[in-house]
Structure 1
Amino acid sequence: MPTGTRYYDGRTAALHVATLRWSEAFLSIDGVEGELAVWPRARLIVGEPDPEGRVVLSCKGEPGRVSTDAFALPVQMTAPRGHRWHYLGWIAIGAVALALAFVLVVRLPAAGAALVPRSAENRLGEMVESVVVGKHRVCRGDDGQRALEQLEARLAHAAGIAQPVRVVVIDSKTVNALTLPGARMVIMRGLFQRVDNPDQLAGVMAHETGHIARRDPLTALFRSAGITLISTTLGIHLGFADVSSLAGRLVGLSYSRDMERLADANGVAYLQASGLRSDGLAAFFALTEKRSGSASGAIEFLSDHPRTLDREKRSQGSPVGESALTAQQWAAVRAMCEKS
């Protein structure tokens, strides 16, 4: 079989050894004795490569044809015409995928969050935690930390959360606790100082566990951050400012009433399933409402966990069950942020 480039003029049986010269608008076919033909590139027809990797070129309205190696063609012409429909098909699929991503992120954030792999969510949570926690001192104390982790492990087991929940305590006077993507819970010193007993703390932790179980932080971020979050979860590099923006969005987010209603109800159920008193959350709501006007420090829990008139009634649990922490464990937890 001939190799190299061959030109057939279409008028005789002669076969010409040729070279191809490409310009922006034309293909010039040169023979040993000079130029054999000039074809407009807009009228070129590129055939399918054969098993040897050779293609046939022709020009609409011209009788000749060229046989050459596929690698001799410009890059943008290496896809045969038949294959171009294949690539156009992929472009169409990509456009549909982008439209679907828009619907999932903007219109159906819970569905979009459900499609995010756990590994990607964990990576996002780690980045956001570094920004949220990085501004505060992390409170240490082996006994207190162990007590909180054991309590949360019981709640997470009742909630059916497969991975361990990471609990971080930070030295902030804010009365709050919040959840981050990737099963992470941040508790602030102000919450320890505000609650009257460990069962109220357990009620708040059970509520936050409800958000973790339903992946509410990721859903809320999808609703708020949109395409920026898609880039992060897919591993596309973002600068520190972008991660800080995501962290700021998360801290300032308010969950929907449905999210809060489910977190309340599920939190009470987790406490009961764990054999613990389940009246702590309602007691905490009543306590915070009573003290919010006079206590020092910002009370954030009710500002980003909006309270409705019937919410306290729905979160009523039972005093039946064991206390969330022993007196010794509770003392260790409250001492975690004391500076040595």
Structure 2
Amino acid sequence: MPPDDMSFRGRLFGPGIAGGGIPVSGRWRGDVLHLQGADLEYDIPAATLGMRAAGFNLQQTGIHWNAGTGEFAFFLDQPADQAAFVSGAPVSLATLLAKSNGMRNGMRRRFGLGAAAVLLYLLLPVIAIFVFFLNTDAIAQWAADRVPVKYEEKIGTVVLNQIKSEQKLIDRGPAVDAVRQIGSRLHPGSRYTYRWFVAENNDVNAFALPGGVVVVHAGLIREAGSAGELAGVLAHEVAHVEQRHALKNLVKNAGFGILLSVAFGDLSGSTIAAWSGYLTQMKFSRDAEMDADRDGVKRMVAAGIDPHAMLSFFSKMAEKEGKGASAMSVLATHPSSQERMLALQELIRSLPPANYAPLPVDWASVKSAVSAKSAM
């Protein structure tokens, strides 16, 4: 039978037909399905037909019937042949056609969802890496927030020991006493046990290590014009400690292995000490610096210390940086900016009026103690 726009092609299986089936063409003659092959011809009443979606992901149409000699099946593979079969089918097959089509569409949707799931699974590592790099700050903060204080303090201790092997740290005397006295007012109720040191170093600098270790360079004390200005620096450093900025930066740059190193007892310094230089010269992000400024002001106010002293000191340092002072000699770890100074001014201007008592510190004795080390 020559094919035309009303005919369709498929493969026939059944009794007396080789296992692989044979190709046949078909067409509708009213309520009768007429199939014709090379040496056979069948006419099957529509009322005797069964139908189902078949094949891989149900994309075939399978028609089956029992001719008495056994079960026959006729499969339509191609969409054009399936469309021709449906277009000529009698109304009596509408329900079977709808059911078969519904099965096929449902499988197509499930197959599509399955393919999407497989693709997502294969792409998940790439997506994870992409998301990680987009959210490194948030992930590092999440990890830092979950580190027990005792581990954070161990990190600070290892780095502190490394620093002690490289430069002289003073832990007693008028300068250290002043730092400790002022600093202790700035962290009431803290989860950390703070350790305060003065480094015999001419750089105008100070830094905070994870776990509450704060080191102030003698050069900074000499540069400060008052105990209040020193308090402004200490308040800023305490804010870094309390907000775990150093730990967050360490996780972000060194990776989670640094935390595992501490958790599993690597306190020899082999992993952490390698990052000690980074921690002592670490530059915080603009947001972290501004957060520390804001929190530091609040801590000074809560301690009854005039916050204008913080603005005074940082403004003086920013002015020197603007004139080209060496980054190593002017708060190397605290990059200043005009934006930060303006934000500090606005914050302090918004505070309610208050009377602040002078700090009970013999500033002349403190200055004298560090000036005696001017040849360091």
Structure 2 Cα separation of the partners of residues 189 and 304 of structure 1: 15
Identity of aligned residues (%): 25
Judged with a 3 Å threshold, the aligned counterparts in structure 2 of structure 1 residues 234 and 300 are, in CA distance, closer, same or farther, namely: farther
Counterpart residue number, 1:298: 328
TM-score by length of 1: 0.62
Structure 2 Cα separation of the partners of residues 218 and 334 of structure 1: 35
Structure 2 Cα separation of the partners of residues 233 and 221 of structure 1: 13
Q: CA deviation at 1:241?
A: 4.9
Are the aligned partners of 2:205 and 2:333 in contact in 1 as well (CA < 8 Å)?
no
Are the aligned partners of 1:179 and 1:185 in contact in 2 as well (CA < 8 Å)?
yes
Counterpart residue number, 2:365: 331
Judged with a 3 Å threshold, the aligned counterparts in structure 2 of structure 1 residues 111 and 335 are, in CA distance, closer, same or farther, namely: same
Are the aligned partners of 2:317 and 2:330 in contact in 1 as well (CA < 8 Å)?
no
Structure 1 Cα separation of the partners of residues 334 and 326 of structure 2: 19
Q: Which of residues 145, 169, 181 in structure 2 aligns to 1:150?
A: 181
Q: Which of residues 320, 330, 342 in structure 2 aligns to 1:313?
A: 342
Are the aligned partners of 1:202 and 1:324 in contact in 2 as well (CA < 8 Å)?
no
Say which SS state the counterpart of residue 310 (structure 1) adopts: helix
Q: Which of residues 137, 144, 155 in structure 2 aligns to 1:113?
A: 144
Say which SS state the counterpart of residue 208 (structure 2) adopts: strand
Are the aligned partners of 2:149 and 2:192 in contact in 1 as well (CA < 8 Å)?
no
Are the aligned partners of 2:226 and 2:363 in contact in 1 as well (CA < 8 Å)?
no
Partner amino acid, structure 1, of 2:166:
K
Counterpart residue number, 1:134: 165
Partner amino acid, structure 2, of 1:218:
L
CA shift digits 1:231-278 (9 cap, x unpaired): 322134366453332112212322122111110011011111111111
Q: Which of residues 246, 258, 264 in structure 1 aligns to 2:287?
A: 258
Aligned residues: 238
Q: CA deviation at 1:323?
A: 2.5
Q: CA deviation at 1:149?
A: 1.2
Alignment of 1:225 onto 2:254: yes
Say which SS state the counterpart of residue 268 (structure 1) adopts: helix
Are the aligned partners of 1:195 and 1:201 in contact in 2 as well (CA < 8 Å)?
yes
Are the aligned partners of 2:174 and 2:369 in contact in 1 as well (CA < 8 Å)?
no
Structure 1 gap segments, 5+ residues each: 1-95
Partner amino acid, structure 2, of 1:197:
S
Alignment of 1:249 onto 2:271: no
Are the aligned partners of 1:174 and 1:297 in contact in 2 as well (CA < 8 Å)?
no
Are the aligned partners of 2:156 and 2:213 in contact in 1 as well (CA < 8 Å)?
yes
Task: Give the structure with higher Rg (CA).
Answer: 2
Say which SS state the counterpart of residue 163 (structure 1) adopts: coil
Are the aligned partners of 1:211 and 1:263 in contact in 2 as well (CA < 8 Å)?
yes
Say which SS state the counterpart of residue 197 (structure 2) adopts: strand
Q: CA deviation at 1:151?
A: 1.0
Judged with a 3 Å threshold, the aligned counterparts in structure 2 of structure 1 residues 312 and 223 are, in CA distance, closer, same or farther, namely: same
Say which SS state the counterpart of residue 145 (structure 1) adopts: helix
Structure 2 Cα separation of the partners of residues 277 and 106 of structure 1: 33
Structure 2 Cα separation of the partners of residues 190 and 334 of structure 1: 12
Alignment of 1:281 onto 2:310: yes
Structure 2 Cα separation of the partners of residues 174 and 183 of structure 1: 21
Say which SS state the counterpart of residue 170 (structure 2) adopts: coil
Give the superposed CA RMSD: 3.1
Structure 1 Cα separation of the partners of residues 365 and 326 of structure 2: 22
TM-score by length of 2: 0.57
Judged with a 3 Å threshold, the aligned counterparts in structure 2 of structure 1 residues 254 and 291 are, in CA distance, closer, same or farther, namely: closer
CA shift digits 1:274-302 (9 cap, x unpaired): 1111111211122113334476893241x
Judged with a 3 Å threshold, the aligned counterparts in structure 2 of structure 1 residues 325 and 134 are, in CA distance, closer, same or farther, namely: farther
Are the aligned partners of 1:175 and 1:297 in contact in 2 as well (CA < 8 Å)?
no
Are the aligned partners of 2:261 and 2:271 in contact in 1 as well (CA < 8 Å)?
no
Are the aligned partners of 1:145 and 1:333 in contact in 2 as well (CA < 8 Å)?
no
Q: CA deviation at 1:140?
A: 5.0
CA shift digits 1:206-234 (9 cap, x unpaired): 01111111111111111111133123221
Could you tell which deviates more after superposition, 241-250 or 119-128? Answer: 241-250
